Structure 1
Amino acid sequence: MHDDRTLVEARLKRVLEERIRPAVYPESVPLEVGIWTAPGEPVPVAEGLAAPRTPIAVGAAWGAPWSTSWLTVSGTVPQRWAGRTVEALIDLGFDANMPGFQCEGLVYRPDGTPVKGINPRNQWVPVGSPALGGEEVLLHVEAAANPVILDYHPFLPTDLGDKETAGDEPQYKLARMDLAVLDTTVWELVQDLEVLGELMAELPVEGARRWEILRAVDRALDALDLQDVGATAPAARELLARVLASPAEPSAHRVTAVGHAHIDSAWLWPLRETVRKVARTTANMTALLADHPEFVYTMSQAQQYAWIKEHRPEVYAKVKAAVAEGRFVPAGGMWVESDTNMPGSEAMARQFVHGKRFFLEEFGVECEEAWLPDTFGFAAGLPQIIKAAGAKWLLTQKISWSQVNRFPHHTFWWEGIDGTRIFTHFPPVDTYNCSVSGKEIAHAARNFKDKGVARNSLAPTGWGDGGGGTTREMVAKAARLRNLEGSATVEWGRPAEFFAAAQAEYPQPPVWVGELYLELHRATLTSQAGTKQGNRRSENLLREAELWAATAAVRTGFPYPYEELDRIWKTVLLHQFHDILPGSSIAWVHREAEKTYAAVAAELESVIGAAQRALAGAADGGGEVVFNAAPHERGGIPAGGARPAAPAPGGCAATARAEGGFLLDNGVLRVVVDGRGLVVSAYDVAAGRETLAPGTAANLLQIHPDFPNMWDAWDVDQFYRNSVTDLVDADEVALTADGPDAVAVRVVRSFGSSRAVQTLTLQPGAARLEFDTEVDWHETEKFLKVAFPLDVHADRYAAETQFGHLYRPTHTNTSWEAAKFEACNHRFVHVEEPGWGVAVVTASTYGHDVTRTVRAAEPGTTTTVRLSLLRAPRFPDPHTDQGVHRFRYALVPGASVGDAVREGYRVGLPERRVPGDAVVAPLVSVDRDAVVLSAVKLADDGSGDVVVRAYEAHGGRARARLTAGFTLAGAVECDLLERPLAQAAAPVVDGDTVELTLRPFQIVTLRLSRRAA
């Protein structure tokens, strides 16, 4: 029996490959081909269609990296083909094993109407079904010569990732360019045999069903004349009909196939190329929908719809019509499939605001699910954001990539930091590019961890990243697997239909509390520091622009820049895509991001400046008004307010020490910097307590080798810690000044081919030591960190995330804890013993690690916090982060979590000084430090209402009074889209004050209407 099985499987493989598949197109004639290559960037469709062509032959080279060529293919359908199905076969030089990572094309008719995309596994274009014979065929192909950058073994540095360095050598050779007859019966036979062969390979050897299929396949191959496949294919199919008709077991696992093409909004191609990838894919999918009424296709990312609306309106018209039919389904409700670890609170909220609003305005569709199959882990604050946006479900798949621990559920409640739960599905098929192969469907059924209590799972089905989406072969396989013995059942469906069914059958699934940490791609928290700093700066500037523009609009009639802010938000949200902000895209993407962030900053600075000048009043006396956008500052300027500048209180003293170091003292902190420029003491005067562990030094720059096993820009592997070099040698340690009252020490270090210049500053009255570090970085495959060894005994620490913070262990009791050796924070990391803590706050770094050791010489525990500053991977950008970078961070001894929140905001929101003499009361204020205002703005609908978003930031319950700095007509609690919440109790309003009662980390969005003067 064993020999029979292997012989039949080997026979099937060879006959399919060498006889049946070639017989799918039994006759063909060559097409004539002409070519024109655009001289620079892609041109409009009309220009490409009209450009003159030069003849080109099959086998000729074409396509310099990132170039665009317009091909014209022409020919005549032979009269003898009348009544048969005829297709054009257009092979640009594809590698069938790399769909989405090479050349691609979009086919147009002469009038500019899009037909479909062509891709490595989708090379056919319909001509006639049936053909009349004698038709003239004329098609135009916009062919993109995107270079092959991804080579898994190994990842090699390449200059192909930027058009400025890629060169002009042709990348491809034209392959098949034919008109051909499609033998539909042979094509159907291929699908029959592939489905049965793949199913047979997954069934138990001992089971009768496997042998039943094997014998049927054997008989079908016997019936096939290999010299005349077309004539004998019907007989072969007839012999397979019975085994294909045998129904699935009633208890079979149920797979909902969702037509899908995961298209990275940028990655190994620039943003402009994604516009065309989306156009090709959506043209493909609208054509497939027209041919297959059972098929349903889903696409997320509002940005991608907006792109084709703007750049390919002829494709968008087909998409919009298919959406109206309910078969092309907008999903996810986000602007892009963003990273969720690093975007700030408001940015994460605005991903849903702008995404959902686009789908509502364009299609009248309200997405109830978040759709994030490929994002690199999920922050613990996300469930509340999803719910506050009016959604209730989440799909993700990436967690299956974790290196160490297998996630224990496939369907579960995910509980966030505030207690909000979201019904979440993690497809057991373990891919977001499912091809409906027997192996994939069988794996989904076997792998499903909720057997016995649930039977539904989802399979995102189609080639992504420009691979063309779902194919007609996938649709054919799904039809055969809809109800087939031995297999899970497969049926096309919409995400909402799947989630409703899954939740109905499994209303009480298990609960996962806290972040969904991906045990992989940890280095994305550090790679491409310039992109990350651009993001953080943009978020801070948007906060200020909305705050000051709203304040000026209410107080002075300043024109609120609705359209400008809307456009800038969408630009910033786009760059939070999960391969841009994480630093895992090609050089071109990050080079463009740097320019974009600079332009965003300039625009927002202009908005802020104009609004503040409108508020500051006259400056006849040469005075200055100081504006503060940080959430709160004890004893200083109110949050969102301004006052005339005044001299700073007190001062600082600096004393040289005999060993070559310095003592800095402001009466709150006493800091000792030794002759190496390292901080060896940070004494909290009020607490009478040393911050640093005995015998250690803080602000210690450390460098590690950094050569992960795979995924260079994405990964840092735990063994990097095995080797470390402490950078303790200093070129210069000198006392300097940083303002009229502050004292500072300047430290210069050289290491490798790089140089670091640091300024350590103690401000008057401040309970923080500030660090300004400029690194001229020219290392390769190295990892730079800065360490703070703290004399704190703590088994957990707090790291800021969206709308709050989460706790992670400092120990490694289990493999789950040990795997979190690099993690994300936003503005602070906080460690504490009861009654006393320390915060390390940062302006723009995300990656960090926290470790603990028990001291041998002196009893006690050292908890070391390290910020991750720079890496130097060589793929996909071989020059990642080379050049000058500036980092700002601070050590805050004696800090509570509330202090960490305040200081974290402050480090990124410096006070601004504007000529004038006005006192500007806050537009909105709150009387409790625990309640932070994350946004103050005017309502997006132009009504003039003031929208305020607040959250409880300390992790406890809070009662607070929110006071409007204007005459309040009413207050309504809203969702993130500023729509009133039907189930919410009316806020308690007393005059111009609103009473707030918040649970730990709760978000509340209030819409405040103003009484007319």
Structure 2
Amino acid sequence: MRAHLPEEREILIIQIQEQLNELKQLSRVDSHAIEGWEISVAGNNQPPGNPPKSGWKRIGAGTHWGDGQPDWTAWFRCKTQVPKRLVQSGSFVVLHLGIAREGLISINGKPFHGISENHKTFRITEASHLKKPLRIEVEAYTEAIQHPAPKYYGKFECAEFIRVDEAIDSLCWDLQVALDVLKTHDRKSTTFQRLLEVLASAMVRLQPYPEDLSVLRSLCRKTARWLKNELKPFPANPDDGRLLVCGHSHIDTAWLWPLQETKRKCGRTFSSILHLMEVNPEFTFAQGQPQLYQYVKEHYPEVYKGIKKRVAEGRWDPAGPAWVEMDCNLSGGEAIIRQFLYGNRFLEKEFGVRNNVCWLPDAFGYSWSLPQILKGCGVDFFVTTKIDWSMITTFPYTTFHWEGIDGTRIHAMMPPLNYNGNLIPKECKKQWEQIRQKDVLDEIAFSFGWGDGGGGPTQEMIENGKRLDDIAGIPKVRFGRLTDYFNEQREKIDSASLPVWNGELYLELHRACQITQARTKWYNRKMEVLLRETEFLSALGCVFGSAYPREDLESIWRDVMTNQFHDILPGSSVEALYRETDEIYRSAMSRSMALKTKALDNYLKKIDTTGPGRPLVVFNSQGWNRTDPVGLPKSELKLKPDEIVVDCDGDLVPSQVSRDLSGEDRVWIAPSGVPSVGHSTLRIVKNRSSLAIENSLKVSESRIENPFFVVELDPKGFIRRLYDKRANREVLPKGERSNILRVFHDLPHMHDAWDYDFNVDSNAWDWEDVQSIGIAESGPVRASIEIVRRTQRSTLKQRMVLYSNVPRIDFETSVDWWEKHVLLKAVFPVNIRSPKATYEIQFGSIERATHENTPFDRARFEVPHHRWMDLSEGNYGVAIANDSKYGSDILGNVMRLSLLRAPVHPDPHADEGRHEFVYSLIPHSGDWRHGSVVPLAAELNAPMTIGMPKKRLGPLPSTNSWLETSSKNLMIETLKREEDGKRLVLRVYECEGNRGVGTVLTRMPVKKAWASNLVERNLTPLKTSKGKINLDVTPYSVHTLMLELE
């Protein structure tokens, strides 16, 4: 009887599904339980490895294992063989294992397939596996580390071989996909009612199911042919769209598990993909992040061999050339360049390919600097899906030109759905429906597969894809490579038809990722600076023929880049991960310091240090003459009470000894000038003539003054007056306090580590519990007042430091932090009115609104920045610099720097412990350009280096400059050796948004010079004259020079 009423049609759908489920059971025509299993418990935090040699015990179905612990590994093994009765023509055999939430199956010593919640049955295709004895081993895992934790018992549920009839199984998929398509149609449409009738008729043809297998198989084959013919009147039409589908597994380099576990996730997932490729010749797969390939190369060589084979075939797409899918707000500009430099070098060396598509689906926002960096790294296309996660406004485009800070444009696309797509009709339809520019796009990419923790596509998804190539209401599906698709779109779409987005891609979510896990962010900044200094000194050594430690530096960079992954650096991973990364950072810092020390020692040997007293060499890697004080532990310098520091002319150099916040005595020296990218030699001599320096610093417990500022404190240790003597100006609004340490109750409505909410200000208080205020230093180089504050749990020590010769007020801070669910900010109301503020980003700066006029403005209540932010009006401004902080906000005239948080998920002890950091106030005349904010912030982050060489007659003069630029807006960022040769790489960038001819002057013996892209390719000869190289400088442009030395 035909269904005429809506209610009858719904009943008919249910009946079809139930009958189909029965047919699926009939397709499993025989099975054989696998017995004789043994288990050996390995414990937690296990690296990739081989089965243990001892500790094996028998285990049977229904047994729990894992002791209720997360991150728990056990090994299972048995010896068995597929029964001959299961190996029949017209059938295939699957291995069904219900052992663990995650695991890796090996057969006869080779990785076979990964286990996950969505991967439990595995087709056996290799002939030898069907005919010969098998040794099955399973590395099983309870689950990733999370908090709060449920019980993590594993359970041995079942282990069996199953014989599946091919004809019945194939028809089941034909019917299931058609039924799932039916459910996506409007119930009132003609197509829905006609298609329902076809499916109902198909089931009538099959009912009742014959008991004889050969009869049922024959009937299924006939029904499949009939169904194919009946579905021809239901083709897809152009309005249904088209999808390019490609398998993908988004494997977070770390998140709810440590890096150690990621290595095993790669082994599981990639072995699964290779197995699916063996079964399905049309299946393609895309995977970025060369770091993951490196893991597999090291730990799973058989799997890696299979990957290389599939890449060569063109079915495995190494999509995404960045070393990892890095955070794009916090990572430095040079670090992002290295992501692509080292990433694509790896792909080229290992697979013979270079990838030009930036695949970053899950990072938490994208800096305005990125288009220039991508283009300069040979990347032509940018892809993400993350901005659609924004909670306030909706991004208007699916595909567009993204215009960067310097005017560079790159083709960009945001496929609508999540990067972990499920290849089912409903999701395919939704992917097409949510495209915002169907007039431009006639096809959209759809990556499918379980992800975040790996796993990848399933056989079920692929079966769906095979049957969705032409059916009404669903986009036409074709398998292909993501990289090919994006390049096809770039060539096919008329550029003039695309809209332009000029600005950052700000994610209106996960704003607290600028703050959480402050220790990791501190390490990141320090390592970026340290690597820069190490490369400068190592490169200068090449002038004298010293060996350049390229491999050692790349190894350190790889560690730093891996830790810039978008769940590590932002602070959204588990406690075990941060224990791991702390060790990685400490090792990287130690190795880099050793390289720097070696390079410095080699460099010092080339300097003429003859003369009276003990020589002291100060090295400056920045591109301007520096006079800012430099400190060294007294235990290293060994300055005696009757000794002084003088320059090469014998003039007294101001110095003092003071105890820092950690209790260590330091010698502070204020050199009169250290030249650009060069050195100056000072001397420690006996004070025979009682030379003395006039102290321009005045300090009491509530007032401190230098030639630039007068600062007065209230009884709570906050600034009540800040007077700029140079500009004759009160910096603070009347009656306001500044440098307020404000605490906010911070319990977000979701995503504890990732977010804080828009109304966090509604429950806030000032940290006024002052234990002591006193004079810590009194000149002549620096003077400071120390304030100690406490809560019931935490202690903060802070020194407000003024210098005799630097127009910057530093707040050196040490915090013993043991809070829960609070946010700490430093708050600075200033006497400035401006509708916009400026924040440093990679290779430049960005202006953002200081008001909430629009939802877009209001949504940016916490924003990322790097070393400084500034609020300026016509003739005056105030900047706040920092040495390791990345989050801030400026609303009206109130500037706030985010210092610390205390979330409890996924790390219950996030940010606990000791933190040391410095932030600075820089009042200035004019705007940030006139106020020299960029060099002052750079000096805060990269103190000069002091060396103590032995006396010797070297070829270099006591004072020397290697490099300088014609103007202060042309910053020297990088000096290193090229990756594949002996030339030096010099990178400079325009930092103030100016245009003109810029000149680089080098005193190195340069024979030839070239301009290149950011990854040392596409060389163009440059003219040099007496060491001068002229550049066509445009606002925020980055220039890379290759220098061949004589």
Does the TM-score normalized on the shorter chain lie above 0.5? yes
Deviates more, 1:968-977 or 1:346-355: 968-977
Could you tell me which residue of structure 1 aligns to residue 76 of structure 2?
71
Q: Which of residues 983, 993, 1012 in structure 2 aligns to 1:955?
A: 993
Distance 1:958 1:13, change over 3 A: farther
Deviations 1:99-149 (A, max 9, x none): xxxx32222222x22222222222223335889987534322222333463
Query: 590, 605, 610: which one pairs with 1:602?
Result: 590
Q: Which moved more, 1:243-252 or 1:782-791?
A: 243-252
Tell whether the 8 Å contact from 2:124 to 2:130 is kept in structure 1 after alignment.
no
- Please report how far the alpha carbon of residue 993 of structure 1 lies from its aligned counterpart in structure 2 after TM superposition: 1.3
SS at match of 1:431: coil
Q: Which amino acid aligns with 1:28?
A: S
Question: Aligned pair 1:652/2:690, yes or no?
Answer: no
Aligned to 1:1010: 1045
Give unmatched runs, 5+ long, in structure 1: 95-102, 150-155, 161-168, 853-862
Change (3 A) 1:41 1:750: closer
Paired letter, 2:396: P
Distance 1:304 1:133 in 2: 32
Aligned 1:564-643 pairs, distance under 5 A: 564-617=552-605, 621-633=613-625, 636-643=673-680
Please point out which of 906, 926, 943 is paired with 1:910.
943
Cα distance in structure 2, aligned partners of 1:49 and 1:227: 49
Say which of 8, 29, 39 aligns to 2:12: 8
Residues 1:265 and 1:24: Cα distance change in structure 2 (over 3 Å):
farther
- Cα 1:264–1:650, aligned 2, differ >3 Å: closer, same or farther? farther
> Is 1:209 aligned to residue 191 of structure 2?
yes
SS at match of 2:933: helix
Task: Encode CA deviations 1:922-969: one digit per residue, 9 max, x unaligned.
Answer: 43221211011111111122x321110111001111422112221211
- C-alpha distance after superposition, 1:290-322 (max 9, x if no partner): 222222111100101111111111111111111
Per the alignment, residue 790 of structure 2 pairs with 750
Cα distance change on mapping 1:7 and 1:646 into 2, 3 Å:
farther
| Residue matched to 1:795 | 835
Q: Please tell me whether residue 194 in structure 1 is matched to residue 176 in structure 2.
A: yes
AA paired with 1:931?
L
Give the deviation of 1:275 after TM superposition. Answer: 1.0
Q: 1:481 to 1:893 in 2, by over 3 A?
A: same
| Cα gap change, 1:841 to 1:362, in 2 (>3 Å) | same
Give the letter aligned to residue 1004 of structure 1: H
What displacement does 1:236 show? 4.9
1:673 paired residue number: 713
What is the DSSP-based 3-state SS (H/G/I as helix, E as strand, rest coil) of the residue aligned with 1:394?
strand
Map of 1:879 onto structure 2 = 909
Structure 1 position 44, deviation (Å): 6.1
Match of 1:268 in 2: 256
Partner of 1:991: 1026
Task: Please tell me whether the aligned partners of residues 220 and 235 of structure 1 are also in contact (alpha carbons under 8 angstroms).
Answer: no
1:157 aligned partner: 148
Preserved CA contact (<8 Å) 1:88 1:124: yes
Shift of 1:773: 1.3
Which residue in 1 is equivalent to 2:641?
Answer: none
Matched position secondary structure for 1:978? coil
CA contact (8 A) 1:106 1:142 kept: yes
> Is 1:309 the equivalent of 2:297?
yes
Structure 1 window deviating more from structure 2 (366-375 vs 201-210): it is: 201-210
Q: Which one has the largest radius of gyration?
A: 2
Distance 1:491 1:224, change over 3 A: same
Amino acid of the structure 1 residue aligned with 2:500: V
CA RMSD of aligned residues (A): 2.3
The answer to whether the 8 A contact 2:1000-2:1030 is kept is yes
User: What is the CA–CA distance in structure 1 between the aligned matches of 2:160 and 2:433, rounded to whole Å?
Assistant: 43
Contact 1:383-1:415 at 8 Å conserved across structures? yes
User: Aligned residue for 2:104?
Assistant: 106
Q: Secondary structure at 2:9's aligned position in 1?
A: helix
Give the TM-score normalised by structure 2. Answer: 0.89
Output one character per residue of 1:153-211: Cα deviation in whole Å (capped at 9) or x when no partner: xxx534x9xxxxxxxx8621111200111223333233223322322222222321111
Say if 1:756 and 1:82 are closer, same or farther in 2 by CA, change over 3 A: closer
Quote how far apart the aligned CAs of 1:334 are.
0.6
In 1, distance between residues paired with 2:86 and 2:599?
A: 72
Residues 75 and 735 of structure 1: is their aligned pair in 2 closer, same or farther, counting only changes over 3 Å?
same
In structure 2, the CA distance between the partners of 1:639 and 1:62, relative to structure 1 (3 Å rule), is farther
**CA 829–397 in structure 1, closer or farther in 2 if over 3 Å, else same:** same
Q: Which residue of 1 aligns with 2:919?
A: 889
Q: In structure 1, what is the equivalent of residue 963 of structure 2? A: 924
Residues of 1 paired with 2:590 and 2:262: CA distance? 26
Letter in 1 for 2:1036: F
SS, match of residue 766 in structure 2: strand
State which drifts further: 810-819 or 903-912: 903-912
Q: 1:881 to 1:812 in 2, by over 3 A?
A: same
Rounded Cα–Cα distance in structure 2 between residues aligned with 1:346 and 1:43:
32
| 2: CA distance, partners of 1:464 / 1:966 | 51
d(CA) in 1 for partners of 2:991, 2:910 = 35
Aligned equivalents of 1:330, 1:214: Cα separation in 2: 42
- Cα distance in 1, alignment partners of residues 919 and 230 from structure 2: 68
Alignment map for 1:409-488 (pairs within 5 Å): 409-428=397-416, 430-488=417-475
**Partner of 1:91: helix, strand, or coil?**
strand
What is residue 644 of structure 2 aligned with on the other side? none
Any idea what the Cα deviations from partners look like across 1:761-791, whole Å, max 9, x if unmatched?
A: 0001221110011111111111111111111
Report SS of the residue matched to 1:765.
coil
Structure 1 position 624, deviation (Å): 1.1
Q: Report the equivalent of 1:327.
A: 315
User: Mean alpha-carbon deviation: is it higher for 312-321 or for 36-45?
Assistant: 36-45
2:229 to 227, 242, 263: 242
User: Is contact 1:244-1:480 (8 Å) kept?
Assistant: no
Distance 1:752 1:188 in 2: 67
Amino acid at match of 2:557: W
- For 2:317 and 2:125, locate their aligned partners in 1 and report how far apart those are by CA, in whole Å: 29
Where does residue 669 of structure 2 map in the other structure? none
SS at match of 2:195: helix
Counterparts of residues 774-813 of structure 1 (less than 5 Å):
774-813=814-853
Letter in 1 for 2:696: C
Q: Does the aligned pair in 2 maintain the 1:83–1:132 contact within 8 Å?
A: no
State how far apart, in whole Å, the 2-side matches of 1:3 and 1:766 are. 81
Rate the CA distance shift 1:495–1:651 in 2: closer, same or farther, 3 A: farther
Alignment of 1:116-265 (within 5 A): 116-127=113-124, 135-147=132-144, 149=146, 157-158=148-149, 171-225=153-207, 231=216, 233-234=220-221, 236-245=223-232, 246-265=234-253
Report matched runs for 1:280-299 at 5 Å. Answer: 280-299=268-287
Q: Structure 1's 209 and 887: CA in aligned 2 closer, same or farther, altered over 3 A?
A: same
- Where 1:419 maps in the other structure, the secondary structure is coil
* Matched-pair contact (CA < 8 Å) for 1:147–1:171: no
After TM superposition, list the pairs within 5 Å mapping 1:13-32 onto structure 2.
Answer: 13-17=17-21, 19-32=22-35
2:537 is aligned with what amino acid?
Answer: W
Alignment equivalent of 1:551, drawn from 529, 536, 540: 540
- Between stretches 880-889 and 50-59, larger displacement belongs to 50-59
- Distance between the aligned counterparts of 2:809 and 2:1006, measured in 1? 41
1:719 corresponds, among 759, 764, 780, to 759
Paired with 2:854 and 2:804, the residues of 1 have a C-alpha distance of 45
Tell me how far apart the structure 1 counterparts of residues 459 and 94 of structure 2 sit (CA, whole Å).
Answer: 16
| Aligned-pair CA distance for 1:65 | 3.1
In 2, Cα distance between the equivalents of 1:650 and 1:893?
Answer: 25
Q: CA 1:24–1:266 in structure 2 vs 1: closer, same or farther (change >3 Å)?
A: farther
Flag the 1:24–1:404 CA change in 2: closer, same or farther, 3 A. Answer: farther
Partner of 1:100: none
Q: Does 1:36 align with 2:74?
A: no
The equivalent of 1:350 in structure 2 is 338
Aligned length: 965
